[in-house]
Chains A and B, each alone.
Chain A
């Protein structure tokens, strides 16, 4: 069975290689058990603080609500940084600008969490996760992969960014397998 984990999906010609941005779409609710608290205690909450009162990266989360997938770009040395930052690690300027990242890509590596989930994720197992190579970008970003059961998942499968809302209204994102 585990050998399936290393098989690679057949490569199809992709129209999305030029990093075309998808149209904005409304954030959608994650289906989950209704009993779940809107928010874990602050120091068990894995998700980021996202309001402008808490972080200078609030535009990233506002972008998710508008169907955009943003990060920061340093004009001086031309690097697109991940995760988004407020100071460039190369030239140490704070003069960074927000840019749209490609919202499509390909699975580079994946696994599934079958046991040992952190607080708040226990009821969402198995949970497929992976590294995604964004189209036309050097970035390889980690995230949850939805829309596929782990035994059917393959390296090379195409995915797109999918924003969603947490029970308390915060925005976050996953990657959905595109068939």
Chain B
């Protein structure tokens, strides 16, 4: 008996992201259409397992037990494992991680990981309540805590401790929006944002402006994962999952250590890189969780692309752009693509597949990429989930 089986993401696709005139279930149907279109050799009967990343269907669509709903909408009949994965903003990556674990353990051969979120609903105050209850609802959210004021406090401390500026925050948003202008499924595909425009947008939670915050977005997507002996049925450029790390270290804000040094991400990314046997300098690109501009800046520091406090100048100097040390968020990020919670992790994996296959717009194509990292934080950056991919073929 040999060791655990190798696993790859072999294909997948996305629905358009944005404010969509479709229901939750219709998004799942669209995910089925795009999956079978982008992975032509996939037969529904070969899919033995289904993992559905969905953060809050109870809140946004008043629907629980969504895994069988998605199976029905997509025309799948999983017969080994069928389940939903929920980890707030990381629910999509959780679906992929669960599929990876199942295939690696020999419990599945071909699994589909789906992400669906419908966040734009008639009463957006209710949608904001849904976002609030991701946090410690009775002890933090009841005071008015949602994501923007939390990350605003993180930005405030980073500015105070390291001299990070509004212009450096805007540089993150400008880069990611520019990439999103080359990504047809992005929510802001057709919207141009230069630095000056970003700095004039209204404040949402000072010091964060509208352009510093990812959006409430409707969207879905699906990817196929296959065991090593089935990979060649689907693609010549598989995205092999080589490393994985995850860390959860607090929930109530009182139990967070430093606001500006995310030790959970230090641990999760080190574990992911260690298991892939590479270092941060080996990565060609990284899909990092830029739910807010300050998040991406702190993530550079925690992963080790630069030193503590240097994230602001790292982006302002172009070191996370094409031609820099590592290309961060060539997909357009959460800032440019929108952030349909459960679908975001799926979208990042689709970007890895498409970048490895050299089939994205040249304006965001990373030259000859071999190694990629995907990261999601969830909640108040209290959980960090990291995966490392290597291009095959």
A interface residues, Cβ below 8 angstroms from B = 1-3, 5-6, 8, 44, 46-49, 82-83, 109-122, 124, 127, 129-131, 139-144, 150, 155, 172, 174
Contact = CB atoms under 8 A, between A and B. Distances in A.
Interface of B: 123-126, 128-129, 131-133, 136-146, 148-149, 152-154, 156-157, 159-160, 166, 202-208, 252-255, 259
Residue from B140, B149, B152 with most neighbouring chain A CB atoms (10 Å)? B149
Contacts of B166: 2-3
Given A5-B156, A112-B149, A112-B205, A82 B138 contact: no
Chain B's interface: helix, strand, loop or mixed, by majority? helix
Contact of B138 (A46, A114, A116): A46
A46 B159 contact: no
A111 B149 contact: yes
B148 A113 contact: yes
Give the residue among A6, A140, A144 with the most B Cβ atoms within 10 A: A6
Contact of B206 (A48, A83, A127, A150): A150
A114 B254 contact: no
B206 A172 contact: no
B202 to A, nearest CB: 8
A129 B144 contact: yes
Given A2-B203, A118-B129, A144-B144, A111 B254 contact: no
B206 A142 contact: no
A116 B148 contact: yes
A2 B153 contact: no
Contacts of A121: 144
Given A46-B133, A113-B149, A117-B128, A144 B160 contact: no
A109 B259 contact: yes
Contacts of A110: 153, 156
B126 A44 contact: yes
A8 B153 CA distance: 14
Contact of B159 (A6, A114, A130, A144): A6
A113 to B, nearest CB: 5
A109 B158 CA distance: 10
B146 A48 contact: no
Interface centre among A48, A49, A111, A129 (most CB of B within 10 A): A111
Contact of A83 (B149, B154, B252): B252
B166 to A, nearest CB: 6
Nearest to B199: A2
B140 A142 contact: yes
A121 to B, nearest CB: 6
Contact of B143 (A116, A119, A140, A144): A144
Given A6-B159, A140-B254, A111 B128 contact: no
30 contacts: A2-B166, A6-B156, A6-B160, A44-B129, A46-B133, A46-B138, A46-B141, A82-B255, A83-B252, A110-B153, A111-B148, A111-B149, A111-B156, A113-B149, A114-B206, A116-B146, A117-B125, A118-B128, A118-B131, A119-B123, A121-B144, A124-B144, A129-B143, A131-B259, A139-B254, A142-B252, A143-B143, A144-B143, A155-B156, A172-B142
A30 to B, nearest CB: 12
A110 B150 CA distance: 9
Contacts of B141: 46, 118
A109 B157 contact: yes
A2 B144 contact: no
Given A130-B153, A172-B142, 12 more contacts: A6-B207, A46-B133, A46-B137, A48-B138, A109-B259, A111-B208, A112-B149, A118-B128, A131-B259, A140-B253, A141-B253, A142-B254
A47 B205 contact: no
A155 B142 contact: no
Contacts of B133: 46
A3 B165 CA distance: 8
Contacts of B139: 48, 83, 142
A82 B252 contact: yes
A117 B153 CA distance: 17
Given A44-B129, A113-B205, A118 B254 contact: no
Contacts of B154: 109
B252 A114 contact: no
Contacts of B157: 109
A127 B207 contact: no
